[in-house]
Chain A
Amino acid sequence: MKKIYNKILSIAGNVITVKAEDVAYEELAEITTRRGRSLAQVIKIEDDIVSLQVFAGSRGIATNDEVRFLGHPMQVSFSDTMLGRIFNGSGVPRDGGPSIADEVIPIAGPSVNPAKRIIPKRMIRTNIPMIDVFNSLVASQKLPIFSVSGEPYNELLARIAMQAEVDMIILGGIGLKFDQYMYFKNVLEDGGALSRSIFFIHTASEPIVEGLMVPDLALAVAEKFAMAGREVLVLLTDMTNFSDALKEIAITMEQVPSNRGYPGDLYSQLASRYEKAVDFEGAGAITVLAVTTMPGDDVTHPVPDNTGYITEGQFYLRNGRIEPFGSLSRLKQQVNSDTREDHRAIMDGMIQLYAQYQESEEKRAMGFRMSGWDNKLLKYGKLFEGQMMDLSVNIPLEEALDRGWEILAECFEPGETGLRSELVKAFWPAERQETTEGKPAPKTEQGEAAPSEKEGGRKGDAGEKKKEKKTKKKK
């Protein structure tokens, strides 16, 4: 039996030290206080002085409280009976159900050998055009939602979870507000997905360090299920809370902070969690979707910044929409070549035009006169925002691509879109009509002149017409 110690030497922050022998690095201990029991983990050993980080926080710990070393590092149970269950940040049931003791597995295990990884190839369809068309989500991807607090990020997370074709969902809540926790529970329950879900929930009212284990618990269990052939979607919300817990420990340990109080190893700490996303050849896969709230809407804040350097893209959620700028799925090129031949061109072309729209919009807001081109862009921007970006749009990829061409055709001449001629020939709605009608080219001019007349900007219209005449002459 392991030794019990009754003399705590120091208590600072959530770290205590005891004099103890034969203790292993990262070993767990149990501390019994008047308030109950808490787990603690060895984070430093110097001769016989052992520092432990106490997950329930140090509040109320007395120097003569009992510290019992458990002889093993942090573990978690693993079993099919975990499905539909809810656990806390230490892996203990919080749903009143029985504890699970089938098989215990270590957490934060070794990383996957890169030589065993495969190139991800399966697209996860979400029916959200801003994802499917512009930034496709791919099985085994790790992707955060960057957002300020107050945005519906958990709603977005839940919606993707419900629509994604996966075998099971593991939700890791770190500092989750109680109502959000209930929200997830209800959405999954109503959607009939609770029975294929496992929750590890640390709520905002619990000591912050207790949230530290949540990602590791969720990912260790996910890894086991994926090895057994399951497609697992892991949701982590909110990783900024996780990082803040790391910061707190680092400061207590008097580590020199690197940036705004965060420890220098924040990158490695986050990476070792996110890199658990993987597609096991011949078995299942883990996809990680996380939430990273950005304090002060500042993407250069150390948490979103380090996260961006680790994950395979990010979705910016702003004003209830996924922003096209900054949002990026880095794995999209693995899948968007096999969808439809116009997928990539529409993706690039529409974004470039949307960027130009924003410039025109800026000019308009400053009171400049709008040229014909500006007016086309303004019209385009509105259509794009309303019919593509709005989160209420719920259509499959192919339909979204068709809609893209419609929007373009409604606003521009083919040449103005920068899209390759052969694609225009195949997909441009007006032309498609013509070819079916068997009529030759010149009709294009009409097709395009029409919408610009509706625009209002008189000067622009005139310019447009003159221009068309001129080019015709040159031909």
Chain B
Amino acid sequence: MKKNVGTIVGINGNMLTVRFTGSITQNEVGFALIGDERLKSEVIRIQNDRAFLQVFESTKGLRVGDSVEFTGELLSVALGPGLLGQIYDGLQNPLPQLAEEHGFFLPRGVVLEALSRETRWHFTPAVKKGDTVIKAMPLGHVPETQFSHRIMVPFYLEGEYTVLSVADEGDYTIEDEIAVLQNEKGGKISVSMTFEWPVKLPIDAYREKILPTEPLTTKSRIIDTFFPVALGGTYCIPGPFGAGKTVLQQITSRNAEVDIVIIAACGERAGEIVETMREFPELIDPRTGKSLMERTIIIANTSSMPVAAREASVYTATTLGEYYRQMGLNVLLLADSTSRWAQAMRELSGRLEEIPGEEAFPAYLESRIAEFYERAGLVELHSGDRGSLTIGGTVSPAGGNFEEPVTQSTLKVVGAFHGLSRERSNARRFPAIDPLESWSKYESFIDSAAISRARKFLRTGAEVHQMMMVVGEEGTSIEDFVVYLKSEFLDSVYLQQNAFNDVDAATSPERQKYVFDLIATVLGTSLGFAGKDEARKFFTDLRQQFLDWNVLEFESDAFAAAEKKIRAMIEGIADDEENLQ
């Protein structure tokens, strides 16, 4: 077949204008040729005989008259066993292999295989000759780290197929033929363990989407108890710079009770993802006893890497997440930051001279964000079992002001909002999720009535605090003052969590229920103090006891001993109060 080749007629930043003759497809991949470098690009607009391509690399040195080779294929990723534990750039280039071959710097125009062609996987067939199959049905499975990786009928095969042959149990590479399928018209299709899928198309090879209800445990108390996330749900973390978005996601990526975590470092600092890359292989996942890296995939397209690839990286990550969901697994995708992705769209839109919307973002920003979060979900597969993809995205609003297009568009579509506040992060109240502004549509594993009582304390406590700033402490009644102290107590021993203490950093649901119960008791006990200083002293001491308690192993002897002390303290003051009344 003759290659479809166009000619560059314009260069503006990472955008090329290319004159072509044959036929081309929107979103197909082209390669701009410069010496022996092949610069991967994507067609993003077609106008008469001109195509506009965004180049995923630096365009330095390209000239008018240089050639662009069109491939006819949409921008795709390779799916198959071997994805877990990988570190890819936004286009699924494996970064460690790139480093091995090219050293410190990212070379331009190099594309490596995403999956190893040599690794042999132990395949066990799940179908036999003569069976009827449809897309996404397992033909067999291979063990991949701690999972049984389903080898599925490629998702692009529509209709019913008959299995003509299937490989015997044994070791195969991803390229070996493991089955031959026949379609209704008699055509034969050879299937291996890998196939490609275009990143911008959602994978929908399941029976139906189901409303997410089951909580996803993050082990962050303020999230699980107050603003929970559901398996298959969506949530966002907007916050000004330095408020703790990335740290919160890092903690979640370690502790979340899910099968697989996909981390999309999208246009943020390289250093941050390096921490994860270097630490995860050493960290043990308490759920499996294996290294955390074995359940993790990292997509790193950091801020100094090409902007167009940043735009693609979010889709790459989502596609991999959808793929594992098809195996009946619970997948969590953490994207940091969706604002950088939105900015990549903005840069592109600007070069296309599209009519800009608010803050120069393109008019389709809102629908792109909605489409992205829509790819999350709890699904029932054709096999009857369920899988989920949960998406959590950080948002980096300009000036820390949530009244901006990306935050607002995101808030319209997500199921939970963890808004970080500058005030809280300045006061080192971490995680700096604002307990008064944030919300979640999902249900917590803690009784909702108890939570609303606690939230009422936070609200009234904040009001009293406000008032005290105006009328002073002496103008505040002792009752109000105690409400304020109680809300502060709840805040400092429960909402705040020490990310650097191994025990405190991750609180199991059981412990959350247990501790919250005791806190609810403190909140619910009416305490009569002789004066404000006495009240303050009591809560200062109680807080101290609780903080010490928080870092003790759950259900250990020390834990029990500390609890006893705390209970005695509470009883002591409650008695006092009865005497006084």
Chain A interfacial positions (CB closer than 8 Å to B): 21-27, 44-48, 73, 109-120, 140, 227, 255-259, 263-265, 267-268, 271-272, 275-276, 280, 300, 302, 305, 308-310, 312-314, 325-326, 328, 330-331, 333, 337, 344, 348, 351-352, 355, 359, 362-363, 366, 368-369, 371-374, 415-416, 418, 420-421, 463-464, 466-467, 470-471, 474
* Stretch from B56-64, B167-175, B213-221, B443-451 contacting the other chain: B56-64
Q: Which one of B270, B279, B356, B427 lies within 8 Å of A275 (CB-CB)?
A: B270
User: B10 to chain A: which residues have CB within 8 Å?
Assistant: 44-47
What mask results when residues 513 to 556 of chain B are scored 1 for a CB within 8 Å of chain A, else 0?
A: 00000000000000000111110110011011001100100000
Give Cα distance in the complex from A53 to B427, angstroms: 46
With contact pairs A115-B95, A418-B543 given, residues A373 and B359 touching in the complex (Cβ less than 8 Å): no
User: Is B428's CB under 8 angstroms from A418's CB?
Assistant: no
User: A115 to chain B: which residues have CB within 8 Å?
Assistant: 87, 95-96, 98-99, 277
Chain B interfacial positions (CB closer than 8 Å to A): 9-13, 17, 58-65, 87, 95-96, 98-99, 102-108, 240-242, 265, 267, 269-271, 273-275, 277-279, 300, 302-305, 307, 340, 343, 346-347, 350, 356, 359-361, 396, 398-401, 426-428, 468-469, 471-475, 492, 500, 530-534, 536-537, 540-541, 543-544, 547-548, 551, 572, 576
User: Is A25's CB under 8 angstroms from B104's CB?
Assistant: no
With CB as the reference atom, state the residue of chain B lying closest to A255: B350
Give Cα distance in the complex from A77 to B496, angstroms: 52
Give Cα distance in the complex from A393 to B541, angstroms: 34
Q: Which one of B305, B359, B396 lies within 8 Å of A258 (CB-CB)?
A: B359
Give Cα distance in the complex from A333 to B267, angstroms: 23
User: Is B61's CB under 8 angstroms from A112's CB?
Assistant: no
Closest Cβ of chain A to B430, distance in Å, is 10
User: B343 to chain A: which residues have CB within 8 Å?
Assistant: 264-265, 267-268
User: B105 to chain A: which residues have CB within 8 Å?
Assistant: 109-113
With CB as the reference atom, state the residue of chain A lying closest to B536: A373
User: A263 to chain B: which residues have CB within 8 Å?
Assistant: 350
User: Is B346's CB under 8 angstroms from A271's CB?
Assistant: no
Give Cα distance in the complex from A309 to B10, angstroms: 33
With contact pairs A114-B95, A115-B95, A371-B532 given, residues A26 and B241 touching in the complex (Cβ less than 8 Å): no
User: B11 to chain A: which residues have CB within 8 Å?
Assistant: 25, 44-45
Give Cα distance in the complex from A344 to B474, angstroms: 35
Q: Which one of A47, A271, A368, A464 lies within 8 Å of B533 (CB-CB)?
A: A464
User: Is B474's CB under 8 angstroms from A116's CB?
Assistant: no
Closest Cβ of chain B to A448, distance in Å, is 12
User: Is B531's CB under 8 angstroms from A466's CB?
Assistant: yes
User: A48 to chain B: which residues have CB within 8 Å?
Assistant: 64
User: Is A25's CB under 8 angstroms from B533's CB?
Assistant: no
User: B548 to chain A: which residues have CB within 8 Å?
Assistant: 420-421
With contact pairs A24-B62, A300-B399 given, residues A467 and B300 touching in the complex (Cβ less than 8 Å): no
With CB as the reference atom, state the residue of chain B lying closest to A352: B428
With contact pairs A116-B104, A259-B398 given, residues A325 and B473 touching in the complex (Cβ less than 8 Å): no
Closest Cβ of chain B to A364, distance in Å, is 10
Q: Which one of B103, B398, B427 lies within 8 Å of A302 (CB-CB)?
A: B398
User: A467 to chain B: which residues have CB within 8 Å?
Assistant: 531, 533-534, 537
Closest Cβ of chain A to B282, distance in Å, is 11
User: B543 to chain A: which residues have CB within 8 Å?
Assistant: 418
User: A118 to chain B: which residues have CB within 8 Å?
Assistant: 274, 278
Q: Which one of A25, A111, A313, A371 lies within 8 Å of B106 (CB-CB)?
A: A111
With CB as the reference atom, state the residue of chain A lying closest to B353: A256
With CB as the reference atom, state the residue of chain A lying closest to B108: A110
User: B277 to chain A: which residues have CB within 8 Å?
Assistant: 114-115
Closest 10 pairs between A and B when the two form their complex, measured CB to CB: A300-B399, A368-B472, A271-B303, A275-B304, A308-B241, A115-B95, A258-B360, A111-B304, A463-B533, A115-B99
User: B537 to chain A: which residues have CB within 8 Å?
Assistant: 467, 470-471
User: Is A305's CB under 8 angstroms from B241's CB?
Assistant: yes
User: Is A44's CB under 8 angstroms from B12's CB?
Assistant: yes
User: Is A371's CB under 8 angstroms from B533's CB?
Assistant: yes
User: B269 to chain A: which residues have CB within 8 Å?
Assistant: 275, 310, 312
Closest Cβ of chain B to A304, distance in Å, is 9
User: A110 to chain B: which residues have CB within 8 Å?
Assistant: 58, 105-108
User: A113 to chain B: which residues have CB within 8 Å?
Assistant: 95, 98-99, 102-106
User: Is B61's CB under 8 angstroms from A24's CB?
Assistant: yes
User: Is A25's CB under 8 angstroms from B62's CB?
Assistant: yes
User: Is A418's CB under 8 angstroms from B9's CB?
Assistant: no
User: B63 to chain A: which residues have CB within 8 Å?
Assistant: 22-25, 45
User: B102 to chain A: which residues have CB within 8 Å?
Assistant: 113
User: B99 to chain A: which residues have CB within 8 Å?
Assistant: 113, 115-116
User: Is A264's CB under 8 angstroms from B340's CB?
Assistant: no
Residue pairs across A and B with Cβ atoms less than 8 A apart, 29 shown, are A21-B64, A44-B12, A46-B10, A47-B10, A73-B60, A109-B105, A113-B106, A114-B273, A255-B350, A256-B356, A256-B360, A257-B360, A264-B343, A264-B347, A267-B340, A271-B267, A276-B304, A308-B240, A310-B303, A314-B242, A325-B426, A359-B469, A368-B471, A368-B472, A371-B532, A373-B533, A466-B530, A466-B533, A466-B534
With CB as the reference atom, state the residue of chain B lying closest to A138: B271
User: Is B347's CB under 8 angstroms from A119's CB?
Assistant: no
User: A308 to chain B: which residues have CB within 8 Å?
Assistant: 240-242
User: Is B106's CB under 8 angstroms from A117's CB?
Assistant: no
Give Cα distance in the complex from A14 to B439, angstroms: 50
User: Is B472's CB under 8 angstroms from A363's CB?
Assistant: yes
User: Is A355's CB under 8 angstroms from B303's CB?
Assistant: no
User: A119 to chain B: which residues have CB within 8 Å?
Assistant: 271, 274-275, 278-279
User: Is B428's CB under 8 angstroms from A348's CB?
Assistant: yes
Closest Cβ of chain A to B270, distance in Å, is 5
User: A227 to chain B: which residues have CB within 8 Å?
Assistant: 104
User: B64 to chain A: which residues have CB within 8 Å?
Assistant: 21-23, 45, 47-48
User: Is A280's CB under 8 angstroms from B356's CB?
Assistant: no
Closest Cβ of chain A to B574, distance in Å, is 12
User: Is A363's CB under 8 angstroms from B500's CB?
Assistant: no
Give Cα distance in the complex from A331 to B274, angstroms: 12
With CB as the reference atom, state the residue of chain A lying closest to B273: A114
Q: Which one of B87, B304, B396 lies within 8 Å of A271 (CB-CB)?
A: B304
Q: Which one of A140, A265, A333 lies within 8 Å of B347 (CB-CB)?
A: A265
Give Cα distance in the complex from A320 to B534, angstroms: 39
Give Cα distance in the complex from A47 to B17, angstroms: 9
Give Cα distance in the complex from A272 to B302, angstroms: 10
Which of A115, A257, A265, A276 has the most chain B CB within a 10 Å cutoff? A115
User: B265 to chain A: which residues have CB within 8 Å?
Assistant: 114
